[in-house]
Amino acid sequence: MAIMKMDNMQNMGDMQHAPEKDMSNMDMSNMDMDMGGGQMMHMGNLKRKFWVSLILTLPLIVMSPMMGMQLPFQIIAHPWTDYLVAILGTIIFVYGGQPFLSGAKAELHNHKPAMMTLIAMGISVAFIYSIYAVVENNVLHATPAVTDFFWELATLIDIMLLGHWIEMDTLMSAGSAVDNLAKLLPSTAHKVVAGDVQEVKIADLVADDHVQVRAGEKIPADGVIVSGATSVNESMVTGEARLVEKQVDAQVVGGSVNGEGTFEMRITGTGEDGYLAQVMKLVSDAQAAKSEQENMADRVAGLLFYAALTVAIVAFIVWLLVGNLALALSIAVTVLVIACPHALGLAIPLVVARSTAIAASHGLLIRNRDAMEQVKKLNYALMDKTGTLTEGNFKVAEYQSLDPQYQADDVLQIMAGLETGSSHPLAVGILTAAKDQKLTPAPAEDVHQITGVGLSGTVNGRTYQVVSAAYLDRQQLAYDHATFDRLASAGNSVSFLTADQQVLGYAAQGDQIKPEAKNLITSLQAQHITPVMLTGDNAQSAQVVAQQLGITEVHASLLPEDKAKLVKQYQADGSPVMMIGDGVNDAPSLASAEIGVAIGSGTDVAIDSADVVLVKSNPNDVVQFLELARQTTCKMTQNLWWGAGYNVITIPLAAGVLAPIGFILNPMFGAVVMSLSTVIVAINAMTLHIKD
């Protein structure tokens, strides 16, 4: 899984060199899909091939017997019908069968025959034998008449084209929730050129352009604020429902909505470099990567190819010895035609179509389909606290100075200055408190993040840090433990201001548990999945939340690398682990887990780390994902059994394995069973559903 994620990250980097495009005008019909062995088929071509082949099939059905059986509505008594059917069948074979023949060529070139090879073998044998039948019946006047397989040829090509069209259509439908993000971008922007403001089209913007964003407008592209301050609603992009304060040097995402302030920004990403385009590319990459079940269908098809070919050759030799050439050839061809994977070809695409439609409607963006197949073996669900189980909407409950040279307001001003430009929930809480107290954040320079610890920066020539109690303990810095214990035991997250190895003050902030979090924990426990809290917060605050939610396993005061190590520890027994997180600090553990779930995801987490993104930032959607994953895997397995089971039973019967007791599979009965199997697979896929 780690390799796949690194590939996706590389894909994101490659996009920076792609030509600029207007995201609002992206044509999703230009998508391609892998038709086997790396052969790509254009969505429009596939759709056109299906409809053309279907139209040509309708008259062919009227004039061609089904496995030798004449239906009441058919017209096959006239000599000219055989020639017309042959012409229509040839067009369908050459035009409609082209993707499968090309796919088979690529599979055989790679020495990995699979679905495309099995389909190509079936349609090629059916076509060649049918042409032979037309010649025998109408030129050589064979007696008895030789049965052709044009009916089977045409319907197989139609069904396979439909299956692949459904699969490709699913690729777009699955991303419908994020496809709409492209519509968030405005059509024009206010570009700043030499102090003048000009209205230009979004498509004309390039990296490093400066644009002005006015109050209430949509942000036209990804960028960094160079002047001004505001609050931004990023809910339609990240899932966070609250306003995020933005100052100079803060990053903004194209498609989010500006608040009351006006600011100027420098563009860092437009078109295919922007966040929205990357999310849409992410959907496409995820859907192009086949899941384990889809690979299983290809492996089954490969085995069926060898099995059908072997049985057909053996049957031909046996019946040639005990019968005649015409009988032996007819039975061998029947075996190869019956082996065609009508139901198997639809088994997985139909389930994927249904599953991804349900996922999109429930706010689930599934990047890696293999993650769904890990759910059945899941024992542990590791999760972050802040922003995942809690709202992440902190409010300063208390702030004080611990140094006589500083007033309490001085501590808050310095902390606010260091936190300016950060969108971390704790930073937002401190900035909001300073604003409420009408305190101006102290001007800070050289501010940088200390991973898993806090921030460091310079104010009036002195270097300060905003850190956690765990950092103070590791550095053996003295602080008031009694005060900390009192605040932490009440569920507060406590940040300390330090300078020159001295603790100068603190700010304690409270958070609220998400209403849906309790149901998540209860549901996990009901499914015998142990919830485990991993948090960088202090142990007392973590225990308060854990006790309210019923979580018994808690690991607190963790650095990002500590979380990743714990993921590996829980993986030690060989069972997959699910990690649920919401921020950059959770990225290493999200990447390490078999199932990484991002809640309220930031740009980096959504693109680089998680397998599943919960668009609505609702932790209860994890329960929906688990149910959908189990139902999807179950339906895929059932369909594979139905699709392959038909072939396993009918191939030996068609070969005459029961001939000694007087039974040889009638081709007409084989066709009925084949059609019934396809119908069962389709109905079974459509019954997939989850509770709202």
User: Greater confidence, 266 or 616?
Assistant: 266
CATH topology of domain 185-274: 2.70.150
Structure tokens at 121: 């073998």
Of 277, 280, 48, 294, give the one whose Cα is nearest residue 172. Answer: 280
Cα–Cα distance, 212 to 228 (Å, whole number): 10
What angle, 0 to 180 degrees and rounded to 10, lies between the N-to-C axes of helices 667-686 and 325-338?
0
Tell me the pLDDT band of 26, cut-offs 50, 70 and 90: very low
> Which of 87-91, 411-415, 603-607 is predicted least confidently?
603-607
Supply φ then ψ for residue 520, to 5 degrees: -60, -50
Supply φ then ψ for residue 515, to 5 degrees: -60, -30
The CB density around residue 324, as the number of other CB atoms within 10 Å, is 10
Cα–Cα distance, 95 to 93 (Å, whole number): 6
Which letter, b or e, does each residue of 73-104 get, where b requires 16 or more Cβ atoms within 10 Å of its Cβ? Answer: ebeeeeeebbeebbebbeebbeebbebbbbbb
> Which of 319-333, 372-386, 510-524, 527-541 is predicted least confidently?
319-333
Q: Give all strands of the β-sheet with 243-246 in edge-to-edge order.
A: 243-246, 230-233, 257-258
Of 450, 423, 437, give the one whose Cα is nearest residue 232. Answer: 423
Cα 336 to the chain's mean position, in Å?
37
Q: 583-602, pLDDT tens digit by residue?
A: 656 777 888 888 988 876 44
Domain positions in the chain: 31-174+290-356+632-686, 185-274, 364-390+513-614, 395-510
Tell me the pLDDT band of 31, cut-offs 50, 70 and 90: very low
Structure tokens at 420: 């300016």
pLDDT of 76: 56
pLDDT at 176 over 50: no
Q: Catalytic annotation on 582? A: no
User: Greater confidence, 302 or 620?
Assistant: 620
Burial (CB < 10 A; 0-12, 13-18, 19+), residue 689, is exposed
Choose the CATH number for 395-510 among 3.40.1110.10, 3.30.450.40, 3.20.20.70, 3.40.190.10.
3.40.1110.10
Task: Determine which one of 82, 158, 384, 537 is catalytic.
Answer: 384
Q: Where are the beta strands (DSSP E) in 414-460?
A: 445-450, 454-459
Cis bond upstream, residue 72 (ω within 30): no
Parallel/antiparallel/unpaired status of strands 230-233 and 32-34: unpaired
Single-letter amino acid, residue 126: A
Instruction: Please name the residues in contact with 612: beta carbons below 8 A apart, sequence gap of 6 or more.
Output: 364, 365, 366, 367, 368, 371, 595, 596, 597, 598, 625
Cα distances from 119 to residues 162, 234, 237, in angstroms, run 13, 48, 43
Residue 289 host element (H or E):
none
Single-letter amino acid, residue 621: D
Cα–Cα distance, 176 to 364 (Å, whole number): 11
pLDDT at 434 over 90: yes
pLDDT of 2: 30
The CB density around residue 482, as the number of other CB atoms within 10 Å, is 8
Cα distances from 144 to residues 257, 326, 406, in angstroms, run 77, 10, 107
Question: What does the DSSP assignment read for 525-572?
Answer: HHTT-EEEEE-SS-HHHHHHHHHHHT--EEE-S--HHHHHHHHHHHGG
CATH architecture, domain 364-390+513-614: 3-Layer(aba) Sandwich (3.40)
The CB density around residue 391, as the number of other CB atoms within 10 Å, is 19
- The share of the chain scoring above pLDDT 70, in percent, equals 76
List the alpha helices (DSSP H) in 15-93.
43-63, 79-91
Cα distances from 308 to residues 118, 155, 495, 636, 653, in angstroms, run 9, 20, 69, 23, 12
Q: Where are the beta strands (DSSP E) in 184-247?
A: 188-193, 196-201, 210-213, 222-227, 230-233, 243-246
pTM: 0.58
Q: 617-658, pLDDT tens digit by residue?
A: 788 889 999 999 999 888 888 888 877 777 788 788 878 888
